[in-house]
Amino acid sequence: MQVTAIDKKAQQKRAKRKEQLLAFVLISPYFIIFVLFTVIPFVMGFVFSFMQYNPYMPEQNEFIGLDNFIEVFDPSDPISQRFWGSFSTMLAFCAVNTPLAILVPLGLAYLLNMHPPGFKIFRAIIYLPCVISVTINGIIFGNMFAGSSSGLINAWFGTEIKWLSGLPWENDFLRWFVILLANVWTCGGNFVILAAALRDVPKSLNEACEMDGGNRWTRFLYVTLPSIKPAVSICLFNSLIANLNLYGGPYVLNEIDNESLLVTPMMFIQNFLMGGVAYARQTGYLCAAAIVFGAIVIILSSIERKAMDGRKKRTKYTEEYAVARGNSYMIAKEEKDDAKEA
Amino acid sequence: MTQKRRKTKSERTRRKEKIVSFVCLLVISVIWSIPLLYMVGSSFKSDLDLQLHPEKLFPSSWDEWTLKHYAGFLVRGGQVDNMPIWMLNSLWSTAASIVVTVVFDLITAYALVFLKFKGRDSIIRFLFLWMAVPGVIGTAPGFVIFSQIRNALDLSSAGTYLYIYFWLIIPSGTGIFNMLLMRNFFRSIPPDIVDSAKSDGAGHRVIFRRLVCPLARSTILLIVLFTFTGSWNNLAWPQLLLSGESSYWQTVTVALTGYTGGASWGQVGVSMATSVFSLIPIIIIFIITQNKMIDGIASTGLKG
Amino acid sequence: MKKKFVSVLLAGVLSAASLGVFAACGGGSDGPITTGELKKDENGNVIFENVEIVCNTVVSGTDKDAFEQIVQQFNIEHRGEITVHSESIGDGTFETSVPQRISNNSNAPDLIMAHQKVLKSFENNDLLQPFDEVMELSGIEIDMEDYAEGLAQYSSLGEGDSLYAVPVDAQSMIVYYNKAKLEELGGKLPETRAELITLLQNAKDEYGSGFWPIAWATGNDYFARYVFPTAVLQNGGELFDTESLYAEWAEGENEDAFKDAIGSIRELIYDKNFAQYGRESVLEEYLSDNFLFYLTLPWSNNEHLSAYADEKGINVSEVSDYLGATSLSGWFAMDAVDPSANVVFGDSHFFAMSKTVQDINQKAAILEFIRYFTQNAEIGTQWARAGHVSASKIVSESQTYQSDSIVSHYFIHFYPDLDDFRCMGLTPAFKEVQTNLNALFVSAVGKSSITDGTISSEILRCQEEVNAIVDFIK
């Protein structure tokens, strides 16, 4: 029986269609639920941003096009000023926190990679805080750093430093310090990723560098760092998104002295959108602000990903080099051992 | 005759490294655990002790240890309060969330990685983009849809309970982060293994069940931990849905907020006690899945 | 296949968008309806048969138990007639979940008990209905003359003569005084600020300059929330203009009032060293009798009494031999003859009816429960013992209330004249007013030395913050 070319093509086409059908079936449960429960409410909110919308007084709702967005970008509107002000706070915090969120876990992972006894216990202890919810975090740190002498830290050092109070840009630094501390404490996720990445750095590369006369520092710079670049990239992405959306930490770590409740954009949005019925009339404007915020986050994170993908660092220490070096090293070692035994 | 061989230079540095890192990590771990110890210690301190001796991590003397804060939400009138019911609510809804999430993630990630179809890449990009979307916009509209369907359905009491929990469990299966985690892992499986299975005539179902799933064990454990933590700690949405309903229907996290509001006397003790209590299940899961899971993060975190 | 997928996706998004528009524009809100009929007996009293109502209260924590006890008692006394189901919603979610449930009619409560300050926003968004109609039909009357003036003035929520909300209770900072020390200093409680200062100076002379006659914790949230507005109001100040809703703190006479208030507190702390700034808890002083006046919150009254009794090794009932009760009335008024010199500012709980209630029997049942809660002397006393002094004159003038040991020794003196009690009033920007009063307090009283110019600019700054939000949400 002859299998014609046409038959074969038809068969391939059928197989392909079957595969696509199967794929469709497999991804539909997830996507149906996703669309129903996540996308549709979001789209509704998206529509609200083009309206003067009050959920409690539907007869007052009307379509006003881009007015809300114009108001968000209006520099003379005091509320919008607050919105954009929160952006600068958040970016400043990001700039400080993100490096810390990578360097501290990197250092810890580096130490861990030296395999001290009991390293599994250390690993567990360092990782543990990141499964604790933000609210509990806030309760713990809030009470530890309470302003007067009844906070743990103040009681220990005999001071009365008001950690968590402060007007914006005055004593606020202390409060941001505490928030940073709380954030670093929960860096467990990044820590573990980096620890594993460090473990996977090929030993051969390290030895090759060592043979070239490299000390610990050059080894770190030219071998370790490039090898763990994918892991660092992931950690960076995660930390960036987390910081841009920063809400829980500053919200809980707040004391009465502090009026700068609206310090990150997410807090700004949450405070008014979920703040109760008094703000209901401005739902449209708030949705517009949230959309603008989301757009900016998307832009920032796309920039970040492009930046990490684009760079291809060339170093001397690639796999091939190590193999070549390693070979010569083995030969040299054998000669040495032979000489010893002789 | 064999003499004791002198340690090579790298062996000596390695031993020095171990000692140095041990000391450093020890110090760091002690400092790292202080907040947790503080939380546990304060939960056992009496109210007076908390206000008069804030510098002590643990109660000042043996008789100052008190279970009063725990008793506050565990016991009422000599009987065990609603905590077992709340625990049950939390446990079953969390377990259901885990099952839903894992199943969804497995099959969807499988399709996204191993099956070719048009639009696959745009879906992935769409998911990545969606991570940046502020979900807070959807909360109120989501509640509107919830209420409209609920009013249309006119359910019995048991039906309403299931309806509310349906809205808590099912949407939790659509977390993007977990999906991408699973996809990352699937992508890291060497394609030769799959190809050789295919050329042996294995259909997708067999590949899925016999090949991919067993390999994904550590990732699944990872997702189990994340989903457990997320679902157990979830406060805003369950609080909204369960607000005003019978208090028997609440989850642990929602119920415990009822004990920490209002009065300023004894606030610290009660909040610490409720925090410790709600952490216990998470710590248990953490201990069980710990080793496997951390290795899991390691391998999936790398690619892509 | 791609086309099909994309078109499916598009269709989904379009339908979602149209759903959104529909939900947003369509379905106008219907006003409250009344259905059903009331049954009355020969005296004209309503007969209830198995009526069920759901109450959502903002009370939580230890007060919740006291509230639920009262509800239980009501249910027992009205078995077969009315059953009240009460759920306690925490402060944080009350303002978000209750409005959403009422407006979507999804497990909406029939009766709510909320802080007075949020009720104006509820009313602005059409979530409540007045009691007028049901009072007329059922004959169950609630007369605002029977309630404290300062609170009853808000019962119409700004809607003319209609009755929308019924005041229940009041809470503000409470003051204990040390009886032994007061005896040694002449035994007379101060009635004006001048007398207060003299007394405190005598105390410092008597007990040494290291003695702080007033023990207060300014680091506690509620301190700034209750004491600072009290000081402002006692000096004739106004928190916001009732017509325009704008804060006018830096305008003319109002600015003087604010400055007087700030000055009066600063004088006590920095000039005369009668009290400290910045403590978060002054429990030590309280337990060691190292105070003349001690300020705290009413709902922890019982714990304070027990702690004191334990410390001294006496019975709780004997504590009143050592500790007396007084109020902040007149403490901060620079001008003792100002009509508002005795005002005390705090929070208050009110009852209101949700617009979703339709059955007239349920509405009447709600009235009955409100009357029970606010006009039954026993119940009012019980509630007062939990820290919430009654806003109803029927209760506060009753024998039961006045002879109860806790009430008579403490609460009656904490709030001497209920007609002088004030709360936030009718503004949707209550949260911002509160926050900015806090901020003003911290910036103006927090520093040990400050110029008048700085105080003025701080007042102006905080005022502008409030007004920005008022513009936003008006």
Can you give the residue range of the structural domain that contains B178?
83-259+279-301
When pLDDT is averaged across residues B75-85 and rounded to a whole number, the result is 73
Tell me if C24 and A44 make a contact (CB, 8 A cut-off). Answer: yes
Q: Place B248 in a pLDDT band, splitting at 50, 70 and 90.
A: confident
Q: If we measure between CA atoms, which residue out of A332, A330, A333, A313 comes closest to residue A322?
A: A330
In contact, C233 and C340? CB cutoff 8 Å: yes
Tell me if A24 and C473 make a contact (CB, 8 A cut-off). Answer: no
Tell me if A57 and C126 make a contact (CB, 8 A cut-off). Answer: yes
Tell me if A139 and B139 make a contact (CB, 8 A cut-off). Answer: no
| Cα C245 to Cα C474: distance, rounded to the nearest angstrom | 8
In contact, B119 and C2? CB cutoff 8 Å: yes
- The pLDDT of residue A169 is above 80: no
A213 in contact with chain B, both atoms CB, cutoff 8 A? no
B80 in contact with chain A, both atoms CB, cutoff 8 A? no
- The pLDDT of residue B296 is above 50: yes
Token couple for B106: 């497995």
Question: Which of the residue ranges A64-68, A217-221, B275-279, C338-342 would you say has the lowest mean pLDDT?
Answer: A217-221
Token couple for B101: 């999430």
| Cα A175 to Cα A166: distance, rounded to the nearest angstrom | 7
For A283-308, what is each residue's pLDDT tens digit?
889 999 999 988 888 888 788 777 76
B22 in contact with chain A, both atoms CB, cutoff 8 A? yes
When pLDDT is averaged across residues C388-413 and rounded to a whole number, the result is 91
Instruction: Give the nearest partner residue to A40 out of C19, C278, C471, using CB atoms.
Output: C19
In contact, C198 and C186? CB cutoff 8 Å: no
| Cα B140 to Cα C99: distance, rounded to the nearest angstrom | 11
Q: Provide the number of CB pairs (under 8 Å) joining chain B to chain C.
A: 103
Token couple for A76: 């003379």
Confirm whether B19 is domain-assigned. Answer: no
Tell me if C106 and B150 make a contact (CB, 8 A cut-off). Answer: yes
| Cα A216 to Cα A224: distance, rounded to the nearest angstrom | 10
When pLDDT is averaged across residues C379-386 and rounded to a whole number, the result is 92
A270 in contact with chain B, both atoms CB, cutoff 8 A? yes
- Beta partners for residue C349, in sequence order: C115
When pLDDT is averaged across residues C99-117 and rounded to a whole number, the result is 92
Q: If we measure between CA atoms, which residue out of C116, C147, C148 comes closest to residue C419?
A: C148
Confidence at residue B256, expressed as pLDDT on a 0 to 100 scale: 82
Confidence at residue B204, expressed as pLDDT on a 0 to 100 scale: 80
Confidence at residue B297, expressed as pLDDT on a 0 to 100 scale: 58
Tell me if B32 and A126 make a contact (CB, 8 A cut-off). Answer: yes
Give the CA distances from residue C202 to residues B194, C211, C332, in Å, rounded to whole numbers and listed in that order. Answer: 91, 11, 18
| Cα A118 to Cα A112: distance, rounded to the nearest angstrom | 10
Residue of A nearest to C20 (CA): A44
Q: If we measure between CA atoms, which residue out of C65, B36, C446, B93 comes closest to residue A147?
A: C446
When pLDDT is averaged across residues B48-63 and rounded to a whole number, the result is 72
Residue A51, CA atoms < 13 Å, CB-side half-sphere: 26
In contact, B14 and A108? CB cutoff 8 Å: no
- The pLDDT of residue B63 is above 90: no
pTM of the model: 0.85
Q: Place A235 in a pLDDT band, splitting at 50, 70 and 90.
A: confident
Confidence at residue C154, expressed as pLDDT on a 0 to 100 scale: 93
Q: If we measure between CA atoms, which residue out of C441, B117, B243 comes closest to residue A26?
A: B117
| Cα A320 to Cα B30: distance, rounded to the nearest angstrom | 43
| Cα A214 to Cα A322: distance, rounded to the nearest angstrom | 14
Tell me if C97 and B264 make a contact (CB, 8 A cut-off). Answer: no
The shortest C-alpha distance from A287 to chain C (Å) reads 13
Tell me if C90 and B257 make a contact (CB, 8 A cut-off). Answer: yes
- List of residues 6+ apart from C344 with CB closer than 8 A: C172, C230, C327, C328, C329, C415, C420, C421, C422
In contact, C26 and B148? CB cutoff 8 Å: no
Tell me if B244 and C303 make a contact (CB, 8 A cut-off). Answer: no
C15 in contact with chain B, both atoms CB, cutoff 8 A? no
Confirm whether B32 is domain-assigned. Answer: no
Mean pLDDT (chain C) is: 88
Confidence at residue A166, expressed as pLDDT on a 0 to 100 scale: 55
User: In angstroms, how far is CA A292 from the centroid of its own chain?
Assistant: 20
Query: In terms of pLDDT, which residue wins out, A259 or C42?
Result: C42
Assign residue B189 the CATH number of its domain.
Answer: 1.10.3720.10
3-state helix, strand, coil in chain C (%, to 5): 50, 15, 35
- Beta partners for residue C53, in sequence order: C84
In contact, C470 and C429? CB cutoff 8 Å: yes
Q: If we measure between CA atoms, which residue out of C46, C14, C456 comes closest to residue C254?
A: C456
- Beta partners for residue C293, in sequence order: C177, C214
Query: What 3-state class would DSSP assign to B180?
Result: helix
- The pLDDT of residue B75 is above 80: no
| Cα C325 to Cα C407: distance, rounded to the nearest angstrom | 10
| Cα A91 to Cα A40: distance, rounded to the nearest angstrom | 30
Which of C121, C240, C246 should one mutate to test binding to chain A, selecting the residue with the greatest count of A CBs within 10 A?
C121
Confidence at residue C269, expressed as pLDDT on a 0 to 100 scale: 93
| Cα C320 to Cα C306: distance, rounded to the nearest angstrom | 11
Residue of A nearest to B181 (CA): A234
Tell me if C468 and A79 make a contact (CB, 8 A cut-off). Answer: yes
Confirm whether B91 is domain-assigned. Answer: yes
For C119-136, what is each residue's pLDDT tens digit?
999 999 999 999 999 999
| Cα A334 to Cα A326: distance, rounded to the nearest angstrom | 12
> What is the layout of strands, in order, in the sheet containing C323-326?
C214-215, C293-296, C174-178, C323-326
Tell me if B147 and C5 make a contact (CB, 8 A cut-off). Answer: no
Could you tell me which chains touch chain B, where touching means 3 or more CB pairs under 8 A? A, C
Q: What percent of chain C has pLDDT over 70?
A: 94
| Cα C361 to Cα C364: distance, rounded to the nearest angstrom | 5
| Cα A321 to Cα A327: distance, rounded to the nearest angstrom | 10
| Cα A206 to Cα A201: distance, rounded to the nearest angstrom | 8
Query: In terms of pLDDT, which residue wins out, A150 or B133?
Result: B133
Q: Which contacts (CB < 8 Å, 24+ apart) does range B276-282 have?
A: B276/B39, B276/B40, B276/B43, B277/B70, B277/B73, B277/B252, B278/A133, B278/A136, B278/B232, B278/B233, B278/B252, B278/B253, B279/A132, B279/A136, B281/B90, B281/B91, B281/B228, B281/B232, B282/A131, B282/A132, B282/B228, B282/B229, B282/B232, B282/B233
When pLDDT is averaged across residues C208-229 and rounded to a whole number, the result is 88
A208 in contact with chain B, both atoms CB, cutoff 8 A? no
- The pLDDT of residue C231 is above 90: yes
B287 in contact with chain C, both atoms CB, cutoff 8 A? no
Query: B14 to chain A: which residues are within 8 Å by CB?
Result: 114
Q: Which residue has the tokens 């190590």?
A: A322
Q: Place B102 in a pLDDT band, splitting at 50, 70 and 90.
A: very high
Q: Which residue has the tokens 């005896």?
A: C183
Query: B143 to chain C: which residues are within 8 Å by CB?
Result: 100, 104, 106
Confirm whether B188 is domain-assigned. Answer: yes
Confidence at residue C350, expressed as pLDDT on a 0 to 100 scale: 95
The shortest C-alpha distance from B259 to chain C (Å) reads 5
| Cα B262 to Cα B247: distance, rounded to the nearest angstrom | 18
Can C39-171+347-418 and C174-346+429-473 be said to share one CATH topology? yes
Count: domains in chain B? 1
Tell me if B225 and A131 make a contact (CB, 8 A cut-off). Answer: yes
Report which residue type is found at C385.
R
- The pLDDT of residue A260 is above 60: no
- The pLDDT of residue C27 is above 70: no
Could you tell me which chains touch chain A, where touching means 3 or more CB pairs under 8 A? B, C
Tell me if A48 and C224 make a contact (CB, 8 A cut-off). Answer: no
| Cα B174 to Cα B184: distance, rounded to the nearest angstrom | 16
C399 in contact with chain A, both atoms CB, cutoff 8 A? no
- In eight-state DSSP terms, residue C163 is -
For A114-136, what is each residue's pLDDT tens digit?
878 887 888 888 888 888 887 78
Q: Give the C window 222-261 contacts with A, CB below 8 Å.
A: 224
Query: What 3-state class would DSSP assign to C296?
Result: strand
Tell me if B264 and C221 make a contact (CB, 8 A cut-off). Answer: yes
- Beta partners for residue C345, in sequence order: C422
- List of residues 6+ apart from C50 with CB closer than 8 A: C80, C81, C83
Q: Give the C window 90-119 contacts with A, CB below 8 Å.
A: 95-96, 99-100, 103, 118
CATH H-level superfamily of C39-171+347-418:
Periplasmic binding protein-like II (3.40.190.10)
Q: Which residue has the tokens 């550590």?
A: B218
Query: B263 to chain C: which residues are within 8 Å by CB?
Result: 61-63, 297, 299-300
Cβ-count burial of B170 within 10 angstroms (0-12 exposed, 13-18 middle, 19+ buried)?
A: middle
Confirm whether B210 is domain-assigned. Answer: yes
Confidence at residue C359, expressed as pLDDT on a 0 to 100 scale: 92
Confidence at residue C15, expressed as pLDDT on a 0 to 100 scale: 60
Residue of A nearest to C428 (CA): A278
| Cα B184 to Cα B113: distance, rounded to the nearest angstrom | 9
C222 in contact with chain B, both atoms CB, cutoff 8 A? yes
When pLDDT is averaged across residues C393-411 and rounded to a whole number, the result is 91
Helix ranges (DSSP H) in A212-282: 216-219, 225-227, 229-244, 248-252, 265-273
Report which residue type is found at A48.
F
Cβ-count burial of C49 within 10 angstroms (0-12 exposed, 13-18 middle, 19+ buried)?
A: exposed
The shortest C-alpha distance from C329 to chain A (Å) reads 25
Q: Place C16 in a pLDDT band, splitting at 50, 70 and 90.
A: low
Instruction: Give the nearest partner residue to C472 out of A35, A165, A282, using CB atoms.
Output: A282
The shortest C-alpha distance from A39 to chain C (Å) reads 8
Residue of A nearest to B52 (CA): A150
Domain parsing of chain C, residue ranges: 39-171+347-418, 174-346+429-473
C19 in contact with chain A, both atoms CB, cutoff 8 A? yes
Cβ-count burial of C11 within 10 angstroms (0-12 exposed, 13-18 middle, 19+ buried)?
A: exposed
Q: If we measure between CA atoms, which residue out of C132, C72, C102, C116 comes closest to residue C363?
A: C132
C125 in contact with chain A, both atoms CB, cutoff 8 A? yes
A237 in contact with chain B, both atoms CB, cutoff 8 A? no
Q: Place A312 in a pLDDT band, splitting at 50, 70 and 90.
A: very low
Query: What 3-state class would DSSP assign to C400?
Result: helix
Arch. (CATH architecture) of C174-346+429-473? 3-Layer(aba) Sandwich (3.40)
Q: If we measure between CA atoms, which residue out of B197, B199, B200 comes closest to residue B208?
A: B197
Q: Place A329 in a pLDDT band, splitting at 50, 70 and 90.
A: low
Tell me if C91 and B261 make a contact (CB, 8 A cut-off). Answer: yes
Report which residue type is found at C233.
L
- The pLDDT of residue C25 is above 90: no
For A204-216, what is each residue's pLDDT tens digit?
777 777 777 777 7
| Cα C62 to Cα B260: distance, rounded to the nearest angstrom | 10
